[in-house]
Amino acid sequence: MARRVLPFIVILPAIHLLLRIGFWYYNRGMFPGAWPQEAASVFFRGLQQDWASLIIANLPTILLLLWRMWERGSAVRNALSLAARICFITANILALALNCIDIGYFRFGHHRANLDLVYVLADSLPSFRNILWGYWPILLVFAGLVSVIVKLASFLPGAGKVSGGRGVSANHQDYANRRPSPPLLVTGQLALLALLIFSLGFPGRPVIPATPLLSVRPATLPLAQNSLLTWAYSVLHRSHELRPVAYFTRPTLDSIVTSSHRLLPGGGRQGFQKKNVVLFILESFSRCYVMPGDPLKASTPFLDSLIRKSLFFPCSFSNGMTSNQGIVSILGGLPALMDEAFYYSEYANTPLRSLGNILKDSGYSTNFLMGAPRDHFGFGKFAKMAGFDHEYWKNDFNDDRFYDGNWGIFDEPFLQYGARVLDRTPEPFLGAFFTISMHDPYTIPGQYRQAFDFPDKTPPQRVVSYTDQAFREFFSTCKQMPWFRNTLFVFCADHWIDPNEGRVPVSSVTAFTIPIFIYDPASDSGRRNATVAGQVDLAPTVLDLLGYRGPYTGFGRSLLDSAVADSDRYVVNKYGINYQVITAEYVYGFDPDRASGSYLYRYTTDTACRHDLLNRPAVHSVQQKLERLVKANIQVYRQALAARNLLSF
């Protein structure tokens, strides 16, 4: 008995401990001060998370083997043995795969695996070959661990050879093929019960992905988590993720936040001008790439010159962490307050009335352009929901000479194609481009590789320089077209990306820093607006610049609205398990499961967010204000989507 059980209770947890160490080592730049200071807490809570994951993964195998113990028929016993081996190998390989994927993917998503990973992987299949080559050490470790799992399966009852070459057959007088004696059975049941108590928690305190917060800091939480548990929890928690909450009465709620707005006349702006709008959603553009004076700035001479002539928001943040969240925030006005992409969720039938829908109803031709294959990441689905009647993809470009071999058509040729599409589109028009070249494995066209081979820059920074060149050529072409000076050009990133590839500490603030700026060739003046700006603020700001007056739905406010004080502006998003609000000075994290704050940092002076001010008397009023904001946003978001109505609920 011991010979059969020992490999499982020793080797399986050891494998997950090895993966945890690998996770930390590969992403150590993102966890400053976490090791060895918090090693003991991370180890204990990590072991608990690992055992919970192992119980989840192997429960079917355990049940099949228990059934096999009491079964008399040899044919049924053999079938149960085979089913147990299949379940064991499949479930444990899935657990390995999720943890190995997170080793490489964490620096992009900043959280352990959740439901959204299903959609990300499905849409990334065409580029897997090149991506895996870039992460070959992780792939090699995964292959080695898979072989260990297959070998472990041979220790299961009825699996043939076991340690020492001793065979197991239907007629062998072995414990695996006899009914267990009552004392042995009771001992095994008690041991299993002890493991269940440890791994699933005591009554009232079940082990969930947030359990390690009892011992570790929120910034260190991912180190103590297991990716299988976070993924399984996200899948099972899906139907509860937006369960209604009632933190405030309706009158109080309306005084804090609302999803229904109206742009009113004022500010000296004229009536609806119906200028063309060209919106660029910049794939994986961190604010530092174009921020003057930033030590991580990329070489972007053209965008630098454009920003100097634009309305630039140097304190701008994303409302999500992935592309399928960013596009919803920018075009739909919804922050990413659930793990699943909005347009894949059960709430996808919630009507939107944001930029695309309003301009379409106002007589605009609405066009979505992306060099990836049709409906990449489900963007085609959301484009329809967001009011775009015409779509242009890699399939429409129809020239694979410019295919990057991974994601689609390189930015420069596709932007040129897009310029020609807009030139034959009747005015007024809305054109939304989603760039793709700034994406792992960061490929640059052959003729430009030498030009952008800056030795002091990382691969992401070099591709940013290529995209800068692509925009230079695009604007050079568009300047010759009659509609150019009657057009607003809007730039906003879909999400942040680590420019230093894990070598620089990342905080819950820096992980959302993106550029937002708006260029109007007719004014060409340039000014900085230092107010806190979010992706959901972009649509009402553009509508305000156009002179649109009327209702719109979404969680943003026009950044030109003087009725909103700079001190009252904020960006709400989700960082790991925490909902958080970022203001001009502070960031506050809130855990809805515990209904309490997780952290409070004054990031303007504590740039690395290491000195937690939570529950400090000196900032009590600040904490109260930020908690009201985040709770109100959660309540409005959940109630509006549950009612499938952003106007009234």
pLDDT score of 1 more than 50: no
Over residues 180-209, mean pLDDT: 57
Confidence of residue 34 (pLDDT cuts 50, 70, 90): low
Q: What is the layout of strands, in order, in the sheet containing 311-313?
A: 390-392, 365-370, 429-434, 276-282, 487-493, 516-519, 311-313, 527-528
Confidence of residue 175 (pLDDT cuts 50, 70, 90): very low
In order of start, what are the domains of the chain with their CATH numbers? 2-236 (no CATH), 260-558 (3.40.720.10)
CA distance 527 to 370: 30
CA distance 236 to 21: 27
> Strands 578-582 and 587-591, how do they pair?
antiparallel
What's the predicted TM-score (pTM) here?
0.83
Question: Residue 527 burial by CB count (10 A; 0-12/13-18/19+): exposed, middle or buried?
Answer: exposed
Task: Pick 212 or 509 by higher pLDDT.
Answer: 509
Could you tell me the sign of the dihedral formed by the alpha carbons of 215, 218, 219, 222, in that order?
A: positive
CA distance 414 to 369: 9
Residues 6+ apart with CB under 8 A from 3: 155, 162, 163
Confidence of residue 197 (pLDDT cuts 50, 70, 90): low
In sequence order, what are the beta bridge partners of 487? 276
Confidence of residue 634 (pLDDT cuts 50, 70, 90): very high
pLDDT score of 347 more than 60: yes
pLDDT tens-digit readout, 546-579? 999 998 999 999 999 988 998 899 999 999 889 9
pLDDT at 411: 98
pLDDT at 163: 39
Neighbours of 366 (CB within 10 A): 23
**Helix segments in 394-434, DSSP class H:** 394-397, 411-423
Over residues 198-214, mean pLDDT: 67
pLDDT tens-digit readout, 391-448? 999 999 999 999 998 899 999 999 999 999 999 999 999 999 999 999 888 999 999 9
Dihedral of the CA atoms 390, 395, 400, 403 (nearest 10)? Answer: 70
Ordered DSSP codes for 584-619: SS-EEEEETTTTEEEEEE-TTT-TT--S--TT-GGG
Residue that the structure tokens 């399986």 belong to: 12
Structure tokens at 451: 């030009």
pLDDT at 493: 98
Name the least confident of 9-13, 177-181, 629-633: 177-181
Among 566, 579, 491, CA closest to 535 = 491
Percent share of the chain, pLDDT over 70: 87
Confidence of residue 479 (pLDDT cuts 50, 70, 90): very high
Structure tokens at 609: 């967010």
Q: What is the layout of strands, in order, in the sheet containing 578-582?
A: 571-575, 578-582, 587-591, 596-601
**Do the beta carbons of residue 610 and residue 617 sit within 8 Å?**
no
Over residues 81-86, mean pLDDT: 92
Confidence of residue 17 (pLDDT cuts 50, 70, 90): very high
pLDDT score of 164 more than 50: no
Task: Pick 168 or 515 by higher pLDDT.
Answer: 515
